[in-house]
Amino acid sequence: MSKRTPPLAITMGDSSGIGPEIVAKTLLQQQERAIVYGSVVVMRDIVQRLGIDIAIREISSPEDACFDRKTIEIIETSRLLQAPLIGKISAAAGQAAFDALIAAIAAAKSGAVSGIVTAPINKEAMGLANIRYPGHTEILADYCGAKHVAMMLANDDIRTVLVTIHVSLRHAIEQADFNAQLAAIRLACEGCKALGIANPRIAVAGLNPHAGEGGLFGDEEIRIIRPAIAAACAEGIDASGPYAGDTVYMHARQGRFDIVVAQYHDQGSIPVKYLGLDRGVNITLGLPFVRTSPDHGTAFDIAGKGIADHASLVTALDYAKQLVAVQTKSE
């Protein structure tokens, strides 16, 4: 008899944003083998405030979970004695979001959970708590000791992996060197295979307008990107380019490519988000476990009003289950 796959962990996110609400709505909508890492008092406050018909049950470890219908099982990770003000940035909420993530990472590294789905955090709130990370990806990489990680943004139409992430455009250009290019292409290939695409076709976007136009608008494509593509092809990866960033996603959406390697954050995130925040998901590649998240932020302006759309979190959960299933099958 095969051993059952451990449950997924869902981190609550910033307790002053829409994270607790979309977590509650998601688990109310469908029964999942998932455990929430966060604050019991916050989850109880949000379900009571919004009249969400779901119970909150505190547990000590994933092994204690029963996965009862209409019950959120939560592992307390915060120091909160009361719920922070909704819609307001605070150090307490930033610290609680960070603590939930660190606890979930430890559980994933130990194998107690099969992966992590993260609700949105707020970088300013974490900064107020003296936690200096630009985002989830950097925290995950640091606490997992991962040398190369990448963000994969995906929806039903396109997938993209970013060479550089949460840095200024000036620093992105500096960081998009040969090694970063090759690492991103390799991770794009691995990410597609993790989604069940056996022989992924990878398009690499150019850094400059018109992919440099043969050196007229910059020579990074000639000096850096093309050699990295050639090196990836020598490893047996089906990579091509560089292609103009303003048309490559159109070709990918039409089925010519399975994934696009983008040079910087907005080059990759704009096409995905344009097709709808409810459909997009963020997948972190290069970690020793599965991690996905919604492709939106904390939305303080609508927090606590009961109108937050949880569709992206549902999509992130579905992707996590798919990735875990493929991973388990290959082991």
Identify the structural domains of the chain with CATH numbers, from first to last: 1-145+289-294 (3.40.718.10), 147-286 (3.40.718.10)
DSSP-assigned states of every residue in 88-101: ---HHHHHHHHHHH
> What integer pLDDT is reported at residue 300 of this predicted model?
95
H or E element at residue 144 = helix 136-144
Token digits for 190? Answer: 């691995």
Q: What is the mean pLDDT of each run of 10 residues along the chain (331 residues)?
A: 81 96 92 94 95 94 91 96 94 96 97 96 95 91 90 89 90 94 95 91 96 88 97 98 95 95 92 77 92 91 93 92 83 61
Residue whose C-alpha is closest to residue 100's, from 18, 21, 14, 29: 14
> What integer pLDDT is reported at residue 93 of this predicted model?
96
Residue whose C-alpha is closest to residue 45's, from 83, 94, 86: 83
> What integer pLDDT is reported at residue 330 of this predicted model?
66
Classify strands 290-294 and 115-118 as parallel, antiparallel or unpaired: parallel
> What integer pLDDT is reported at residue 331 of this predicted model?
61
> What integer pLDDT is reported at residue 39 of this predicted model?
97
> What integer pLDDT is reported at residue 142 of this predicted model?
94
Classify strands 238-243 and 201-205 as parallel, antiparallel or unpaired: parallel
> What integer pLDDT is reported at residue 193 of this predicted model?
92
> What integer pLDDT is reported at residue 185 of this predicted model?
97
Q: By three-state DSSP, how is residue 208 classified?
A: coil
Count CB neighbours of 247 within 10 A.
12
Per DSSP, helices labelled H in 145-195 are 169-175, 178-194
Which one-letter DSSP state was computed for residue 222?
I
Q: Structure pTM?
A: 0.88
